[in-house]
Chains A and B, each alone.
Chain A
Protein backbone atom coordinates (compact mmCIF):
# COMPACT_ATOMS: atom_id res chain seq x y z
CA UNK A 1 0.00 0.00 0.00
CA UNK A 2 2.74 2.38 1.01
CA UNK A 3 4.71 1.68 -2.15
CA UNK A 4 1.67 2.48 -4.22
CA UNK A 5 1.12 5.83 -2.51
CA UNK A 6 4.81 6.60 -2.85
CA UNK A 7 4.65 5.74 -6.53
CA UNK A 8 1.57 7.90 -7.04
CA UNK A 9 3.08 10.87 -5.22
CA UNK A 10 6.47 10.67 -6.92
CA UNK A 11 7.29 13.83 -8.95
CA UNK A 12 7.22 11.98 -12.26
CA UNK A 13 3.79 10.56 -11.57
CA UNK A 14 2.40 13.91 -10.48
CA UNK A 15 3.75 15.50 -13.63
CA UNK A 16 2.15 12.76 -15.70
CA UNK A 17 -1.22 13.16 -14.00
CA UNK A 18 -0.99 16.95 -14.39
CA UNK A 19 -0.26 16.58 -18.13
CA UNK A 20 -3.17 14.19 -18.60
CA UNK A 21 -5.44 16.61 -16.72
CA UNK A 22 -4.30 19.44 -19.01
CA UNK A 23 -5.01 17.32 -22.07
CA UNK A 24 -8.51 16.56 -20.84
CA UNK A 25 -9.09 20.21 -20.06
CA UNK A 26 -8.45 20.95 -23.74
CA UNK A 27 -10.08 17.95 -25.40
CA UNK A 28 -13.38 17.82 -23.50
CA UNK A 29 -14.38 21.43 -24.29
CA UNK A 30 -13.12 20.86 -27.83
CA UNK A 31 -15.40 17.87 -28.38
CA UNK A 32 -18.36 19.76 -26.92
CA UNK A 33 -17.51 22.62 -29.26
CA UNK A 34 -17.45 20.17 -32.19
CA UNK A 35 -20.88 18.85 -31.21
CA UNK A 36 -22.33 22.34 -31.00
CA UNK A 37 -20.58 23.45 -34.18
CA UNK A 38 -22.61 20.87 -36.11
CA UNK A 39 -25.77 22.27 -34.54
CA UNK A 40 -24.66 25.87 -35.14
CA UNK A 41 -23.93 25.07 -38.76
CA UNK A 42 -27.40 23.67 -39.37
CA UNK A 43 -29.11 26.49 -37.47
CA UNK A 44 -27.09 29.29 -39.09
CA UNK A 45 -27.49 27.93 -42.60
CA UNK A 46 -31.17 27.30 -41.89
CA UNK A 47 -31.73 30.88 -40.80
CA UNK A 48 -29.76 32.19 -43.78
CA UNK A 49 -32.01 30.16 -46.06
CA UNK A 50 -35.16 31.41 -44.27
CA UNK A 51 -36.01 28.14 -42.56
CA UNK A 52 -35.66 27.08 -38.96
CA UNK A 53 -33.15 24.25 -38.91
CA UNK A 54 -33.21 21.60 -36.15
CA UNK A 55 -35.13 23.12 -33.22
CA UNK A 56 -37.17 20.23 -31.87
CA UNK A 57 -34.86 18.07 -29.70
CA UNK A 58 -34.56 19.86 -26.37
CA UNK A 59 -34.77 23.63 -25.84
CA UNK A 60 -33.86 25.43 -29.12
CA UNK A 61 -32.73 22.04 -30.45
CA UNK A 62 -29.79 22.01 -28.07
CA UNK A 63 -29.85 18.23 -27.63
CA UNK A 64 -29.75 17.59 -31.38
CA UNK A 65 -25.98 16.74 -31.49
CA UNK A 66 -26.47 14.08 -28.81
CA UNK A 67 -29.41 12.60 -30.67
CA UNK A 68 -27.23 12.46 -33.81
CA UNK A 69 -24.37 10.82 -31.93
CA UNK A 70 -26.70 8.18 -30.43
CA UNK A 71 -28.15 7.47 -33.83
CA UNK A 72 -24.69 6.97 -35.35
CA UNK A 73 -23.58 4.75 -32.46
CA UNK A 74 -26.57 2.46 -32.89
CA UNK A 75 -25.85 1.86 -36.58
CA UNK A 76 -23.98 -1.13 -37.91
CA UNK A 77 -20.31 -0.75 -38.81
CA UNK A 78 -19.86 -2.03 -42.35
CA UNK A 79 -16.54 -3.28 -43.69
CA UNK A 80 -16.76 -3.61 -47.50
CA UNK A 81 -15.57 -7.03 -48.62
CA UNK A 82 -13.19 -5.57 -51.22
CA UNK A 83 -11.65 -3.13 -48.78
CA UNK A 84 -8.07 -3.18 -47.54
CA UNK A 85 -9.21 -3.78 -43.98
CA UNK A 86 -6.40 -2.43 -41.82
CA UNK A 87 -6.04 0.78 -43.83
CA UNK A 88 -9.82 1.17 -43.97
CA UNK A 89 -10.06 1.06 -40.19
CA UNK A 90 -6.99 3.21 -39.51
CA UNK A 91 -7.97 6.08 -41.84
CA UNK A 92 -10.84 7.59 -39.78
CA UNK A 93 -8.85 7.18 -36.56
CA UNK A 94 -5.91 9.00 -38.14
CA UNK A 95 -8.12 11.89 -39.23
CA UNK A 96 -9.57 12.20 -35.76
CA UNK A 97 -6.26 11.86 -33.90
CA UNK A 98 -4.55 14.43 -36.12
CA UNK A 99 -7.33 16.92 -35.52
CA UNK A 100 -6.77 16.56 -31.76
CA UNK A 101 -2.96 16.43 -31.41
CA UNK A 102 -2.48 19.81 -33.05
CA UNK A 103 -4.15 21.50 -30.07
CA UNK A 104 -1.10 20.72 -27.95
CA UNK A 105 0.68 23.89 -29.08
CA UNK A 106 -2.20 26.37 -29.32
CA UNK A 107 -1.96 28.96 -26.52
CA UNK A 108 -5.31 29.75 -24.90
CA UNK A 109 -3.95 32.42 -22.60
CA UNK A 110 -0.68 33.71 -21.25
CA UNK A 111 1.23 30.51 -20.43
CA UNK A 112 -1.91 28.43 -20.93
CA UNK A 113 -0.57 25.89 -23.40
CA UNK A 114 0.08 22.17 -23.09
CA UNK A 115 3.44 22.18 -24.88
CA UNK A 116 5.16 25.53 -25.36
CA UNK A 117 7.55 24.34 -28.06
CA UNK A 118 10.00 26.55 -29.95
CA UNK A 119 8.72 25.54 -33.36
CA UNK A 120 5.00 25.57 -32.51
CA UNK A 121 3.89 27.06 -35.80
CA UNK A 122 5.88 24.53 -37.79
CA UNK A 123 4.33 21.76 -35.71
CA UNK A 124 0.86 23.08 -36.55
CA UNK A 125 1.78 23.28 -40.22
CA UNK A 126 3.20 19.75 -40.16
CA UNK A 127 0.12 18.29 -38.50
CA UNK A 128 -2.25 20.06 -40.86
CA UNK A 129 -0.22 18.78 -43.81
CA UNK A 130 -0.67 15.23 -42.50
CA UNK A 131 -4.44 15.60 -42.63
CA UNK A 132 -4.43 14.53 -46.25
CA UNK A 133 -3.44 10.97 -45.29
CA UNK A 134 -6.73 10.17 -43.58
CA UNK A 135 -8.56 11.19 -46.73
CA UNK A 136 -6.28 9.47 -49.22
CA UNK A 137 -6.09 6.24 -47.18
CA UNK A 138 -9.87 6.13 -46.79
CA UNK A 139 -10.33 6.70 -50.50
CA UNK A 140 -7.90 4.02 -51.53
CA UNK A 141 -8.85 1.41 -48.93
CA UNK A 142 -12.55 1.60 -49.80
CA UNK A 143 -11.73 0.03 -53.18
CA UNK A 144 -14.54 1.89 -54.82
CA UNK A 145 -14.71 4.54 -57.52
CA UNK A 146 -16.29 7.56 -55.82
CA UNK A 147 -14.10 7.43 -52.73
CA UNK A 148 -11.01 7.06 -54.89
CA UNK A 149 -11.91 10.05 -57.04
CA UNK A 150 -12.68 12.05 -53.91
CA UNK A 151 -9.33 11.10 -52.38
CA UNK A 152 -7.43 12.07 -55.53
CA UNK A 153 -9.13 15.44 -55.66
CA UNK A 154 -8.51 16.03 -52.01
CA UNK A 155 -4.82 15.12 -52.18
CA UNK A 156 -4.17 17.49 -55.08
CA UNK A 157 -6.21 20.25 -53.49
CA UNK A 158 -4.64 20.06 -50.05
CA UNK A 159 -1.09 20.02 -51.42
CA UNK A 160 -1.78 22.98 -53.69
CA UNK A 161 -3.16 25.16 -50.95
CA UNK A 162 -0.53 24.13 -48.43
CA UNK A 163 2.08 25.89 -50.55
CA UNK A 164 0.44 29.29 -50.24
CA UNK A 165 -0.48 28.56 -46.62
CA UNK A 166 3.22 28.00 -45.88
CA UNK A 167 4.21 31.26 -47.54
CA UNK A 168 1.57 33.17 -45.58
CA UNK A 169 2.93 31.65 -42.38
CA UNK A 170 6.42 32.83 -43.39
CA UNK A 171 5.24 36.45 -43.59
CA UNK A 172 3.74 36.13 -40.11
CA UNK A 173 6.95 34.60 -38.79
CA UNK A 174 8.95 37.47 -40.27
CA UNK A 175 6.68 40.04 -38.68
CA UNK A 176 6.72 38.30 -35.29
CA UNK A 177 10.34 37.16 -35.32
CA UNK A 178 9.60 33.84 -33.68
CA UNK A 179 8.29 30.36 -34.41
CA UNK A 180 6.76 30.10 -30.95
CA UNK A 181 3.00 30.67 -30.98
CA UNK A 182 2.94 32.49 -27.62
CA UNK A 183 5.61 34.89 -28.90
CA UNK A 184 3.62 35.40 -32.10
CA UNK A 185 0.58 36.38 -30.05
CA UNK A 186 2.61 38.70 -27.83
CA UNK A 187 4.05 40.39 -30.92
CA UNK A 188 0.49 41.45 -31.77
CA UNK A 189 0.02 43.39 -28.54
CA UNK A 190 0.12 46.76 -30.30
CA UNK A 191 -1.51 45.78 -33.55
CA UNK A 192 -3.10 42.53 -34.65
CA UNK A 193 -1.40 41.18 -37.72
CA UNK A 194 -4.54 41.16 -39.83
CA UNK A 195 -4.23 44.95 -40.22
CA UNK A 196 -0.71 45.22 -41.70
CA UNK A 197 -0.93 41.82 -43.43
CA UNK A 198 -4.54 42.11 -44.57
CA UNK A 199 -4.09 40.46 -48.03
CA UNK A 200 -2.28 37.56 -46.35
CA UNK A 201 -5.13 37.25 -43.85
CA UNK A 202 -7.65 36.89 -46.66
CA UNK A 203 -5.52 34.37 -48.53
CA UNK A 204 -4.90 32.43 -45.33
CA UNK A 205 -8.60 32.20 -44.63
CA UNK A 206 -9.44 31.06 -48.16
CA UNK A 207 -6.63 28.50 -48.05
CA UNK A 208 -7.93 27.13 -44.76
CA UNK A 209 -11.30 26.67 -46.44
CA UNK A 210 -9.57 24.60 -49.12
CA UNK A 211 -7.42 22.78 -46.56
CA UNK A 212 -10.44 21.65 -44.54
CA UNK A 213 -12.38 20.71 -47.70
CA UNK A 214 -15.11 23.18 -46.87
CA UNK A 215 -17.48 24.95 -49.24
CA UNK A 216 -16.82 26.45 -51.77
CA UNK A 217 -13.88 24.02 -52.10
CA UNK A 218 -15.73 20.88 -50.97
CA UNK A 219 -15.05 19.02 -54.21
CA UNK A 220 -13.57 15.95 -52.47
CA UNK A 221 -16.98 15.25 -51.02
CA UNK A 222 -19.10 17.02 -53.60
CA UNK A 223 -22.39 15.24 -53.05
CA UNK A 224 -23.83 16.14 -56.45
CA UNK A 225 -21.00 14.41 -58.34
CA UNK A 226 -19.23 12.00 -55.97
CA UNK A 227 -22.10 11.04 -53.61
CA UNK A 228 -20.01 11.84 -50.51
CA UNK A 229 -16.47 11.50 -51.83
CA UNK A 230 -13.94 9.66 -49.73
CA UNK A 231 -16.30 8.50 -46.97
CA UNK A 232 -19.00 6.92 -49.13
CA UNK A 233 -18.25 3.44 -47.77
CA UNK A 234 -18.08 4.46 -44.12
CA UNK A 235 -20.93 4.02 -41.68
CA UNK A 236 -21.63 4.28 -37.99
CA UNK A 237 -18.73 5.20 -35.71
CA UNK A 238 -16.06 5.29 -38.42
CA UNK A 239 -18.18 7.84 -40.28
CA UNK A 240 -18.66 9.74 -37.04
CA UNK A 241 -14.88 9.88 -36.56
CA UNK A 242 -14.47 11.47 -40.01
CA UNK A 243 -17.22 13.91 -39.20
CA UNK A 244 -15.74 14.82 -35.82
CA UNK A 245 -12.28 15.11 -37.39
CA UNK A 246 -13.53 17.46 -40.09
CA UNK A 247 -15.26 19.76 -37.63
CA UNK A 248 -12.38 19.63 -35.14
CA UNK A 249 -10.13 20.62 -38.04
CA UNK A 250 -12.37 23.57 -38.79
CA UNK A 251 -12.05 24.73 -35.19
CA UNK A 252 -8.30 24.14 -35.33
CA UNK A 253 -7.93 26.22 -38.48
CA UNK A 254 -10.01 28.98 -36.90
CA UNK A 255 -7.75 28.76 -33.85
CA UNK A 256 -4.73 29.07 -36.14
CA UNK A 257 -6.22 32.12 -37.89
CA UNK A 258 -6.95 33.63 -34.48
CA UNK A 259 -3.44 32.99 -33.19
CA UNK A 260 -1.66 34.22 -36.30
CA UNK A 261 -3.78 37.20 -37.29
CA UNK A 262 -6.38 38.08 -34.66
CA UNK A 263 -4.15 38.38 -31.63
CA UNK A 264 -4.86 35.05 -29.94
CA UNK A 265 -5.96 35.57 -26.36
CA UNK A 266 -5.35 39.35 -26.39
CA UNK A 267 -8.33 41.69 -26.02
CA UNK A 268 -9.11 43.92 -29.02
CA UNK A 269 -7.75 47.07 -27.34
CA UNK A 270 -4.88 47.37 -24.95
CA UNK A 271 -7.08 48.77 -22.15
CA UNK A 272 -6.61 47.44 -18.61
CA UNK A 273 -10.36 46.96 -18.11
CA UNK A 274 -10.54 44.48 -21.01
CA UNK A 275 -7.93 42.31 -19.31
CA UNK A 276 -10.49 41.54 -16.60
CA UNK A 277 -12.04 39.10 -19.06
CA UNK A 278 -9.74 36.07 -19.10
CA UNK A 279 -7.72 35.22 -22.21
CA UNK A 280 -9.39 31.92 -23.08
CA UNK A 281 -12.74 33.73 -23.42
CA UNK A 282 -11.30 36.24 -25.89
CA UNK A 283 -9.73 33.33 -27.76
CA UNK A 284 -13.01 31.41 -27.88
CA UNK A 285 -14.92 34.49 -29.04
CA UNK A 286 -12.49 35.08 -31.91
CA UNK A 287 -12.57 31.40 -32.91
CA UNK A 288 -16.38 31.55 -32.89
CA UNK A 289 -16.27 34.61 -35.13
CA UNK A 290 -14.02 32.89 -37.68
CA UNK A 291 -16.18 29.76 -37.52
CA UNK A 292 -19.25 31.86 -38.23
CA UNK A 293 -17.54 33.10 -41.41
CA UNK A 294 -16.86 29.45 -42.33
CA UNK A 295 -20.59 28.73 -42.08
CA UNK A 296 -21.54 31.98 -43.78
CA UNK A 297 -19.32 31.14 -46.75
CA UNK A 298 -20.90 27.72 -47.02
CA UNK A 299 -24.41 29.17 -47.06
CA UNK A 300 -23.66 31.79 -49.70
CA UNK A 301 -21.12 30.56 -52.27
CA UNK A 302 -21.49 28.02 -55.06
CA UNK A 303 -18.95 25.21 -55.40
CA UNK A 304 -15.81 25.88 -57.44
CA UNK A 305 -15.06 23.92 -60.58
CA UNK A 306 -11.98 21.76 -60.16
CA UNK A 307 -9.76 23.47 -62.75
CA UNK A 308 -10.74 26.86 -61.35
CA UNK A 309 -9.73 25.66 -57.90
CA UNK A 310 -6.30 24.64 -59.15
CA UNK A 311 -5.90 27.88 -61.06
CA UNK A 312 -6.72 29.91 -57.96
CA UNK A 313 -4.19 27.98 -55.90
CA UNK A 314 -1.26 27.88 -58.26
CA UNK A 315 -1.66 30.86 -60.56
CA UNK A 316 -3.06 33.48 -58.21
CA UNK A 317 -2.31 32.67 -54.58
CA UNK A 318 1.18 31.27 -55.06
CA UNK A 319 2.66 34.19 -57.06
CA UNK A 320 0.86 36.74 -54.90
CA UNK A 321 2.06 35.28 -51.61
CA UNK A 322 5.60 34.91 -53.00
CA UNK A 323 5.68 38.58 -53.93
CA UNK A 324 4.21 39.52 -50.58
CA UNK A 325 6.89 37.56 -48.71
CA UNK A 326 9.58 39.58 -50.49
CA UNK A 327 7.64 42.80 -49.96
CA UNK A 328 7.13 42.15 -46.25
CA UNK A 329 10.81 41.34 -45.81
CA UNK A 330 11.79 44.49 -47.69
CA UNK A 331 9.46 46.75 -45.71
CA UNK A 332 10.52 45.26 -42.36
CA UNK A 333 14.20 45.69 -43.25
CA UNK A 334 13.83 49.08 -44.91
CA UNK A 335 11.93 50.70 -42.04
CA UNK A 336 13.98 48.95 -39.38
CA UNK A 337 10.94 47.14 -38.04
CA UNK A 338 12.59 43.73 -37.91
CA UNK A 339 11.85 42.13 -34.53
CA UNK A 340 14.93 41.31 -32.51
Chain B
Protein backbone atom coordinates (compact mmCIF):
# COMPACT_ATOMS: atom_id res chain seq x y z
CA UNK B 1 0.00 0.00 0.00
CA UNK B 2 2.86 2.34 0.80
CA UNK B 3 4.72 1.90 -2.51
CA UNK B 4 1.90 3.24 -4.78
CA UNK B 5 1.43 6.12 -2.37
CA UNK B 6 5.08 7.05 -2.74
CA UNK B 7 4.88 6.56 -6.50
CA UNK B 8 2.08 9.13 -6.74
CA UNK B 9 3.94 11.47 -4.41
CA UNK B 10 7.16 11.31 -6.42
CA UNK B 11 5.39 11.43 -9.78
CA UNK B 12 3.25 14.40 -8.78
CA UNK B 13 6.25 16.25 -7.36
CA UNK B 14 8.29 15.54 -10.50
CA UNK B 15 5.57 16.91 -12.78
CA UNK B 16 4.77 19.92 -10.59
CA UNK B 17 8.39 20.89 -10.08
CA UNK B 18 9.04 20.34 -13.79
CA UNK B 19 6.24 22.79 -14.55
CA UNK B 20 7.56 25.23 -11.98
CA UNK B 21 10.94 25.21 -13.75
CA UNK B 22 9.38 27.04 -16.67
CA UNK B 23 6.76 28.96 -14.69
CA UNK B 24 8.92 30.41 -11.90
CA UNK B 25 9.73 34.07 -12.44
CA UNK B 26 13.12 33.91 -10.82
CA UNK B 27 15.77 31.88 -12.71
CA UNK B 28 17.37 30.70 -9.46
CA UNK B 29 14.01 29.38 -8.28
CA UNK B 30 13.73 27.60 -11.64
CA UNK B 31 17.03 25.82 -11.07
CA UNK B 32 15.98 24.87 -7.53
CA UNK B 33 12.78 23.36 -8.90
CA UNK B 34 14.83 21.52 -11.52
CA UNK B 35 16.88 20.02 -8.71
CA UNK B 36 13.70 19.01 -6.90
CA UNK B 37 12.44 17.26 -10.01
CA UNK B 38 15.77 15.41 -10.40
CA UNK B 39 15.47 14.31 -6.82
CA UNK B 40 11.95 13.02 -7.27
CA UNK B 41 12.96 11.14 -10.42
CA UNK B 42 15.60 9.45 -8.29
CA UNK B 43 12.78 8.46 -5.95
CA UNK B 44 10.93 6.93 -8.90
CA UNK B 45 14.04 4.92 -9.81
CA UNK B 46 14.19 3.57 -6.26
CA UNK B 47 10.57 2.43 -6.54
CA UNK B 48 11.47 0.67 -9.80
CA UNK B 49 14.15 -1.28 -7.94
CA UNK B 50 16.96 0.49 -9.79
CA UNK B 51 18.65 1.90 -6.69
CA UNK B 52 22.06 2.18 -8.35
CA UNK B 53 20.68 4.45 -11.08
CA UNK B 54 18.80 6.47 -8.46
CA UNK B 55 21.95 7.11 -6.46
CA UNK B 56 23.89 7.91 -9.61
CA UNK B 57 21.24 10.42 -10.60
CA UNK B 58 21.54 12.14 -7.24
CA UNK B 59 25.34 12.06 -7.14
CA UNK B 60 25.93 13.20 -10.72
CA UNK B 61 22.99 15.43 -11.57
CA UNK B 62 21.90 16.84 -8.24
CA UNK B 63 25.27 16.78 -6.51
CA UNK B 64 27.49 18.08 -9.28
CA UNK B 65 25.85 19.24 -12.52
CA UNK B 66 23.00 21.19 -10.94
CA UNK B 67 25.34 22.83 -8.42
CA UNK B 68 27.42 24.25 -11.24
CA UNK B 69 24.23 25.24 -13.02
CA UNK B 70 23.00 27.07 -9.94
CA UNK B 71 26.43 28.62 -9.55
CA UNK B 72 26.31 30.08 -13.05
CA UNK B 73 22.69 31.27 -12.86
CA UNK B 74 23.38 33.01 -9.56
CA UNK B 75 26.39 34.81 -10.96
CA UNK B 76 24.60 35.99 -14.09
CA UNK B 77 22.53 39.09 -13.64
CA UNK B 78 19.49 37.97 -15.61
CA UNK B 79 16.86 40.56 -16.35
CA UNK B 80 13.55 38.74 -16.40
CA UNK B 81 11.63 41.45 -18.28
CA UNK B 82 14.17 41.42 -21.09
CA UNK B 83 13.79 37.67 -21.35
CA UNK B 84 10.02 37.99 -21.65
CA UNK B 85 10.35 40.36 -24.60
CA UNK B 86 11.71 37.70 -26.92
CA UNK B 87 8.83 35.33 -26.10
CA UNK B 88 6.80 35.85 -29.31
CA UNK B 89 9.86 35.76 -31.49
CA UNK B 90 11.12 32.44 -30.06
CA UNK B 91 7.70 30.81 -29.74
CA UNK B 92 7.71 29.00 -33.15
CA UNK B 93 11.17 27.54 -32.52
CA UNK B 94 10.11 26.39 -29.06
CA UNK B 95 6.99 24.76 -30.46
CA UNK B 96 9.03 22.89 -33.07
CA UNK B 97 11.45 21.57 -30.42
CA UNK B 98 8.53 20.54 -28.20
CA UNK B 99 6.84 18.76 -31.10
CA UNK B 100 9.99 16.82 -31.94
CA UNK B 101 10.33 15.73 -28.30
CA UNK B 102 6.70 14.60 -28.15
CA UNK B 103 7.08 12.58 -31.35
CA UNK B 104 10.24 10.96 -29.99
CA UNK B 105 8.48 10.09 -26.72
CA UNK B 106 5.58 8.55 -28.63
CA UNK B 107 8.02 6.52 -30.71
CA UNK B 108 9.64 5.18 -27.55
CA UNK B 109 6.31 4.22 -26.03
CA UNK B 110 4.96 2.51 -29.14
CA UNK B 111 8.16 0.57 -29.76
CA UNK B 112 8.15 -3.10 -28.86
CA UNK B 113 10.77 -3.48 -26.15
CA UNK B 114 10.29 -7.17 -25.42
CA UNK B 115 12.36 -8.65 -28.28
CA UNK B 116 15.95 -9.55 -27.34
CA UNK B 117 16.67 -6.16 -25.86
CA UNK B 118 19.12 -6.04 -22.97
CA UNK B 119 17.36 -3.09 -21.40
CA UNK B 120 13.99 -4.74 -21.24
CA UNK B 121 14.98 -8.01 -19.59
CA UNK B 122 14.06 -8.02 -15.95
CA UNK B 123 16.61 -9.98 -13.96
CA UNK B 124 15.93 -8.49 -10.58
CA UNK B 125 16.35 -10.83 -7.64
CA UNK B 126 19.25 -12.82 -9.08
CA UNK B 127 22.09 -10.33 -8.84
CA UNK B 128 22.10 -6.71 -7.73
CA UNK B 129 21.45 -4.19 -10.45
CA UNK B 130 24.83 -2.56 -9.78
CA UNK B 131 26.55 -5.78 -10.82
CA UNK B 132 24.20 -6.11 -13.80
CA UNK B 133 25.07 -2.64 -15.10
CA UNK B 134 28.75 -3.34 -14.56
CA UNK B 135 28.52 -6.55 -16.55
CA UNK B 136 26.98 -4.99 -19.64
CA UNK B 137 28.70 -1.62 -19.47
CA UNK B 138 32.18 -3.04 -20.04
CA UNK B 139 31.22 -5.78 -22.46
CA UNK B 140 28.21 -5.07 -24.60
CA UNK B 141 28.41 -1.28 -24.48
CA UNK B 142 32.17 -0.87 -24.12
CA UNK B 143 32.56 1.13 -27.31
CA UNK B 144 29.63 3.46 -26.63
CA UNK B 145 30.85 3.98 -23.10
CA UNK B 146 34.38 4.85 -24.18
CA UNK B 147 33.15 7.14 -26.96
CA UNK B 148 30.91 8.99 -24.51
CA UNK B 149 33.88 9.46 -22.21
CA UNK B 150 35.99 10.69 -25.10
CA UNK B 151 33.36 13.23 -26.13
CA UNK B 152 33.26 14.61 -22.61
CA UNK B 153 37.04 14.80 -22.54
CA UNK B 154 37.10 16.72 -25.83
CA UNK B 155 34.44 19.11 -24.52
CA UNK B 156 36.46 19.66 -21.37
CA UNK B 157 39.68 20.34 -23.24
CA UNK B 158 37.79 22.69 -25.56
CA UNK B 159 36.35 24.66 -22.65
CA UNK B 160 39.75 24.96 -21.02
CA UNK B 161 41.55 26.10 -24.19
CA UNK B 162 38.81 28.66 -24.89
CA UNK B 163 38.93 30.25 -21.46
CA UNK B 164 42.54 29.91 -20.37
CA UNK B 165 44.77 32.76 -21.28
CA UNK B 166 47.97 33.91 -19.69
CA UNK B 167 48.04 37.65 -19.41
CA UNK B 168 51.38 39.35 -19.18
CA UNK B 169 52.27 41.31 -16.08
CA UNK B 170 50.11 39.28 -13.70
CA UNK B 171 51.96 38.00 -10.68
CA UNK B 172 51.53 34.29 -10.20
CA UNK B 173 52.65 31.92 -7.52
CA UNK B 174 54.88 29.14 -8.76
CA UNK B 175 54.95 26.68 -5.93
CA UNK B 176 57.64 24.35 -7.27
CA UNK B 177 59.87 27.37 -7.84
CA UNK B 178 59.22 28.51 -4.29
CA UNK B 179 59.93 25.10 -2.86
CA UNK B 180 63.14 24.69 -4.81
CA UNK B 181 64.62 27.93 -3.49
CA UNK B 182 67.60 27.50 -1.24
CA UNK B 183 68.74 29.64 1.60
CA UNK B 184 71.89 30.70 -0.20
CA UNK B 185 70.14 32.33 -3.13
CA UNK B 186 67.60 34.27 -1.07
CA UNK B 187 69.24 35.30 2.17
CA UNK B 188 72.20 37.62 2.15
CA UNK B 189 74.13 38.63 5.21
CA UNK B 190 75.25 42.23 5.13
CA UNK B 191 77.36 43.75 7.84
CA UNK B 192 75.93 47.13 8.75
CA UNK B 193 77.92 49.82 10.51
CA UNK B 194 75.81 50.41 13.61
CA UNK B 195 77.00 53.98 14.26
CA UNK B 196 75.77 55.39 10.98
CA UNK B 197 72.06 55.39 10.22
CA UNK B 198 71.48 53.37 7.05
CA UNK B 199 70.53 55.34 3.99
CA UNK B 200 67.38 53.28 3.44
CA UNK B 201 65.96 54.44 6.75
CA UNK B 202 66.58 58.09 5.89
CA UNK B 203 64.77 57.67 2.60
CA UNK B 204 61.73 56.14 4.22
CA UNK B 205 61.63 58.91 6.82
CA UNK B 206 61.68 61.50 4.09
CA UNK B 207 58.91 59.68 2.28
CA UNK B 208 56.80 59.61 5.45
CA UNK B 209 57.30 63.32 5.95
CA UNK B 210 56.16 64.01 2.40
CA UNK B 211 53.02 61.99 3.00
CA UNK B 212 52.21 63.94 6.13
Given A129-B63, A159-B64, residue A118 in contact with residue B128 (CB < 8 A): yes
B4 to chain A, nearest CB (A): 14
Stretch of A120-128, A220-228, A264-272, A324-332 with 4 or more beta carbons under 8 angstroms from chain B: A120-128
Given A118-B128, A130-B63, A311-B175, residue A123 in contact with residue B68 (CB < 8 A): no
Considering the chains assembled together, what is the distance between the CA atoms of A221 and B52 in angstroms?
A: 34
Given A118-B128, A118-B130, A119-B52, residue A130 in contact with residue B62 (CB < 8 A): yes
Considering the chains assembled together, what is the distance between the CA atoms of A129 and B66 in angstroms?
A: 11
| A140 near B67: Cβ-Cβ < 8 Å | no
| B71 near A137: Cβ-Cβ < 8 Å | no
Given A118-B130, A119-B130, A307-B173, residue A152 in contact with residue B71 (CB < 8 A): yes
Stretch of B53-61, B110-118, B155-163 with 4 or more beta carbons under 8 angstroms from chain A: B53-61
1/0 contact trace for A76-120 toward B, CB 8 Å? 000000001001000000000000000000000000000001110
* Chain B residues, CB < 8 A from A307: 173
Considering the chains assembled together, what is the distance between the CA atoms of A262 and B211 in angstroms?
A: 62
**How many inter-chain contacts with C-beta < 8 Å in the A-B complex?**
67
Considering the chains assembled together, what is the distance between the CA atoms of A136 and B70 in angstroms?
A: 9
| B130 near A136: Cβ-Cβ < 8 Å | no
B94 to chain A, nearest CB (A): 27
| A159 near B51: Cβ-Cβ < 8 Å | no
A179 at the interface (CB under 8 A from B): yes
- A interface: dominant SS: helix
| B67 near A122: Cβ-Cβ < 8 Å | no
| A122 near B35: Cβ-Cβ < 8 Å | no
Considering the chains assembled together, what is the distance between the CA atoms of A133 and B75 in angstroms?
A: 16
Closest A-chain residue to B58, C-beta based?
Answer: A126
Interface size for chain B: under 10, 10 to 19, 20 to 34, or 35 or more residues? 20 to 34
Q: Out of B52, B64, B128, B175, name the residue touching A129 (CB < 8 Å).
A: B64
- B interface: dominant SS: helix
Q: Tell me the B82-104 residues at the A interface (CB within 8 Å).
A: none
A273 at the interface (CB under 8 A from B): no
Q: Out of A126, A132, A136, A152, name the residue touching B59 (CB < 8 Å).
A: A126
| B67 near A136: Cβ-Cβ < 8 Å | yes
A162 at the interface (CB under 8 A from B): yes
B40 to chain A, nearest CB (A): 14
Closest B-chain residue to A121, C-beta based?
Answer: B55
A15 to chain B, nearest CB (A): 10
* Chain A residues, CB < 8 A from B130: 118-119, 179
Q: Which of B52, B55, B71, B75 has the most CB of A within 10 A?
A: B55
Stretch of B24-32, B182-190, B192-200 with 4 or more beta carbons under 8 angstroms from chain A: B24-32
| A159 near B59: Cβ-Cβ < 8 Å | no
User: What residues of chain B have their CB less than 8 Å away from a CB belonging to chain A?
Assistant: 1-2, 26, 28-29, 32, 35, 51-52, 55-56, 58-59, 62-64, 67-68, 70-71, 74-75, 128, 130, 173, 175
Could you list some 16 contacts between A and B, CB below 8 A?
A12-B1, A84-B29, A87-B29, A119-B52, A122-B55, A125-B55, A126-B55, A129-B59, A130-B63, A133-B67, A136-B71, A140-B28, A152-B74, A152-B75, A155-B67, A179-B52
- 10 more A-B residue pairs beyond the given contacts A126-B58, A130-B62, with a C-beta to C-beta distance below 8 A: A12-B2, A118-B128, A122-B59, A129-B64, A130-B58, A136-B67, A179-B52, A179-B128, A179-B130, A307-B173
In order of increasing CB-CB distance, the 3 nearest A-B pairs are: A129-B63, A122-B55, A126-B58
